[in-house]
Amino acid sequence: MPDPIKQAAIIGGGPAGLMAAEILAQGGQQVHLYDGMPSVGRKFLVAGKGGLNLTHSEANEAFLARYGSRRAQLEPYLASFGPAELRIWAGELGIQTFVGTSGRVFPSDMKAAPLLYRWRQRLSASGVVFHMRHKWLGWNEDRSLRFDTPEGEVSIRADALVLALGGGSWARLGSTGAWTGILAAQGIPIAPFKPANCGFEVSWSEHFRAKFEGQPLKSVVLAFTNSHNISFQRQGEFIITTHGVEGSLIYALSAPLRDEIETNGRAILHLNLAPDRTLKQLAERLDQARGKRSIASHLEKAVGIKGVKAGLLWEFVPKADFSDPQKLAAAIKALPVPLNKPRPLDEAISSAGGLSFAALDECLMLRTLPGVFCAGEMLDWEAPTGGYLMTACFATGRAAGLGALSWLNKQ
């Protein structure tokens, strides 16, 4: 006798929830997917705006290291469904991928919408029923699920449940983090959300802000040493914002910067504005007679520092040091920029914190709520941008789907 079909509920239609739905539908179960928004995958679509970075092509060891202290927890799921499997999966949907110059992997047209459209079609064809505008409110006393819908509150019974409710940033796309209250009330341990891959606030002068807001700093090196004497250094670019700084180079160091501010109230970045020249070269060139040239024009002619780079020097270097070539050269090589605090969680690309792995078994089932599985960014891990976020969402979504499938088959 084949196993009787059971009802599986997925709440959350981001990449993690859609992947869980796919696995359960392939396993022959009746799958109902609920989401509070009018359509699924809103954050996925926004992620595709500047080019959907699905995953990364770097070697496995380097790839896994991106998950930092949560590597051990995520490794089993990434071993079953990592970058290679994700690319094959996308290919089966008719979405070819390519490796960009940075090693990041994108769909060949860079877009998220065609992938999401085909995926949703395939899920519907395999029997997944989508229930939009269903905001999960928690459980009734009889363990049925409570949803707020345009028709009022409804209750739904499910034999297995996958929660894939997302993190806490960009709430307008549906991931409001409201689920933390529901699960905390059930005694599930949850680490508070923190911004990850976020910008930081700097106390710019009005003059600097007005002149340089929105301007990029290209080919600079950021260095940062935290209070445990651990150093971080990276080359890239970032943008001056009205509140401070943001962009890929800042995001790459945002986790240690955020943690330093949390511990010590602030963090100081050291910015190398001329990575291609040595301190000695800079000092010698700045020491050349400047004649009638202004200091600004001397900086530009002697060492090519102008525009926003020069603006940063005027912002943070004492005026007297501009006539001292050694001190000015030292500032160009390592300009201290004090960061006050991270920008708010809602603006961040992703969130750190979330549901503790200690609450889950190896199938991502809540130990205290059998039959309830969790996946995606709602779990307590973080990673830099570069496709690592999406890959772990797909991998944990798949693992939670497999866990729920095996749970249903055992019932």
Ligand X SMILES: Cc1cc2nc3c(=O)[nH]c(=O)nc-3n(C[C@H](O)[C@H](O)[C@H](O)COP(=O)(O)OP(=O)(O)OC[C@H]3O[C@@H](n4cnc5c(N)ncnc54)[C@H](O)[C@@H]3O)c2cc1C
Contact set with ligand X (CB under 6 A): 11-17, 34-37, 40, 42-44, 46-47, 52-53, 135-136, 164-166, 169-170, 174-176, 178-179, 349-350, 376-378, 387, 389-390, 393
Q: Which of 56, 51, 41 is nearest to 108 (CA)?
A: 51
Considering the complex, what minimum distance in angstroms separates the CB of residue 188 from ligand X? 15
| Cα angle 289, 290, 295; round to 5 | 140
Considering the complex, what minimum distance in angstroms separates the CB of residue 262 from ligand X? 22
Q: Which is nearer to ligand X, 246 or 260 (CB)?
A: 246
Q: How far apart are CA 296 and CA 249, in angstroms?
A: 27
Q: How far apart are CA 238 and CA 273, in angstroms?
A: 12
Q: Which is nearer to ligand X, 274 or 375 (CB)?
A: 375
Q: How many helices (H) and strands (E) does the chain have?
A: 15, 20
Q: How far apart are CA 157 and CA 34, in angstroms?
A: 13
Single-letter amino acid, residue 33? L
Considering the complex, what minimum distance in angstroms separates the CB of residue 235 from ligand X? 21
Q: How far apart are CA 261 and CA 340, in angstroms?
A: 7
Considering the complex, what minimum distance in angstroms separates the CB of residue 197 from ligand X? 8
190-196 vs 200-201, strand pairing mode? unpaired
Considering the complex, what minimum distance in angstroms separates the CB of residue 103 from ligand X? 13
Considering the complex, what minimum distance in angstroms separates the CB of residue 386 from ligand X? 7
SS3 label, residue 55: strand
CB 132 within 8 A of CB 107: no
Q: Which is nearer to ligand X, 52 or 217 (CB)?
A: 52
Considering the complex, what minimum distance in angstroms separates the CB of residue 250 from ligand X? 14
SS3 label, residue 253: coil
| Cα angle 99, 100, 101; round to 5 | 125
Q: Which is nearer to ligand X, 174 or 195 (CB)?
A: 174
Considering the complex, what minimum distance in angstroms separates the CB of residue 405 from ligand X? 18
Q: Which is nearer to ligand X, 200 or 251 (CB)?
A: 251
Q: Which is nearer to ligand X, 11 or 329 (CB)?
A: 11
Q: Which is nearer to ligand X, 80 or 233 (CB)?
A: 80
- Token digits for 114? 């065609």
| Angle between helical axes of 325-333 and 307-316 (0-180°, round to 10) | 110
- Token digits for 54? 């699905």
Q: Which is nearer to ligand X, 66 or 277 (CB)?
A: 66
